[in-house]
Amino acid sequence: MSGGAVARGRTRRWLAMGAGMLAWGCASGGRPPAGAGGRVARFGFGRPAPADLVAAWDIDVGPDGAGLPPGRGTPEGGAQVFATRCAACHGPTGTEGPYDRLVGREPREGFPFGRSPRLRAMRTVGNYWPYATTLFDYIRRAMPQNDPGSLTADQTYAVIAWILYRNEIVGSGAVMDAGSLVRVRMPARGRFVRDDRTGGRVIR
């Protein structure tokens, strides 16, 4: 591209961005450079993100299922994955530790965790986690702790199926995949509220 073409391209971008930039004019977060005629512009630092880099790093899974890969797994298959890859830290049945307890529905009534500090160690996937999709997101990004990201998609779906089955949330024959996982309704789903602290005289 000739220098003139680059300059024309930049001018078009500035013009296209003008309306959006006006909306940001009052924001205090950072300083944009001044462009021609006082119009703000970009610095042009950085490089366009390569598609393969985005694909490799974009590992999150949202509550709407966005980001879930193809694959499937059942509690039966997950039992084997759990025994070999997870049980050393979470215990043979997901309750013994030494690290986080994963299985357990007690206390079944009332979500009383705010009332007693003794209940903190009793939090599990079954009684506290509001979204099943978080299991896929977290296992893929961080588990097993000694080799994060090493489970295949099928293994991940399978171990999730096992954890949900052990928590009495899905049946023993459940098949977990991108379609079914997002439809799982977690027992604690309705318990979470947005922060209502505002400052001022009220203690919350």
Partner 1 sequence: MPPRGAIPGPEPTRISRRTLIRAAAGAAAAGLVHTRADALERPVERGALQVGLEDAPQEVGRLPSELGSRAPGEELRRVIYRNRLSGGSLSPIHRLEGRITPADLHFERHHGGIPDIDPERYELLIHGMVERPTVFRLADLKRFPAESRIHFVECSGNGNGVYRRSGIPRELTAQMIDGLLSTSEWTGVALGTLLREVGVRPEATWFLAEGADSAHLARSVPIEKAWDDAMIVYAQNGEAIRPEQGYPARLLLPGWEGNSQVKWIRRIELTDRPVMTREETSKYTDPLKDGTARQFSFVMDAKSIITFPSYPYVLPERGWWEIRGLAWTGRGRITGVEVSADGGRTWQAAELQEPVQLRATTVFRHLWRWEGGEALLMSRATDETGYVQPTLAQLVEARGAGSTYHANHVRAWKVESDGQVFFGLGEVS
Please tell me the distance from the alpha carbon of residue 118 to that of residue 154, in angstroms, as a whole number: 36
Please tell me the distance from the alpha carbon of residue 81 to that of residue 144, in angstroms, as a whole number: 11
Amino acid identity, residue 133? Answer: T
Stretch 123-182 residues interacting with partner 1 (CB under 8 A): 123, 125, 128-131, 133-134, 137-138, 141-142, 145, 148
Please tell me the distance from the alpha carbon of residue 94 to that of residue 124, in angstroms, as a whole number: 9
Per-residue binder mask for partner 1 (CB under 8 A), 90-109, x = binder: --------------------
Q: Which residues pair with 40 in a beta bridge?
A: 34
Which residue's CB is nearer to partner 1, number 131 or number 165? 131
Exposure of 38 in the CB half-sphere (CA atoms within 13 A)? 2
Region binding partner 1 by CB under 8 A among candidate stretches 18-26, 74-82, 156-164, 168-176: 18-26
Q: Are 101 and 95 in contact (CB under 8 A)?
A: yes
Please tell me the distance from the alpha carbon of residue 87 to that of residue 145, in angstroms, as a whole number: 12
Rounded least distance, CB 168 to partner 1, Å: 18
Among 38, 47, 52, 70, contact with partner 1 (rule: CB under 8 A):
47
Number of residues that bind partner 1 (CB under 8 A): 68
Among 4, 38, 70, 200, contact with partner 1 (rule: CB under 8 A):
200
Amino acid identity, residue 195? Answer: D
Please tell me the distance from the alpha carbon of residue 10 to that of residue 196, in angstroms, as a whole number: 44
Please tell me the distance from the alpha carbon of residue 169 to that of residue 51, in angstroms, as a whole number: 37
The answer to whether residue 89 forms part of the interface with partner 1 (CB under 8 A) is no
The answer to whether residue 36 forms part of the interface with partner 1 (CB under 8 A) is no
The answer to whether residue 120 forms part of the interface with partner 1 (CB under 8 A) is yes
The answer to whether residue 34 forms part of the interface with partner 1 (CB under 8 A) is no
CA 200, chain centre distance (Å): 33
Per-residue binder mask for partner 1 (CB under 8 A), 54-83, x = binder: x--xxxxxxxx-------------------
| Binding stretches for partner 1 (CB under 8 A) | 17, 20-21, 24, 27-32, 40, 42-43, 45-50, 53-54, 57-64, 110-120, 123, 125, 128-131, 133-134, 137-138, 141-142, 145, 148, 188, 191-201, 203-204
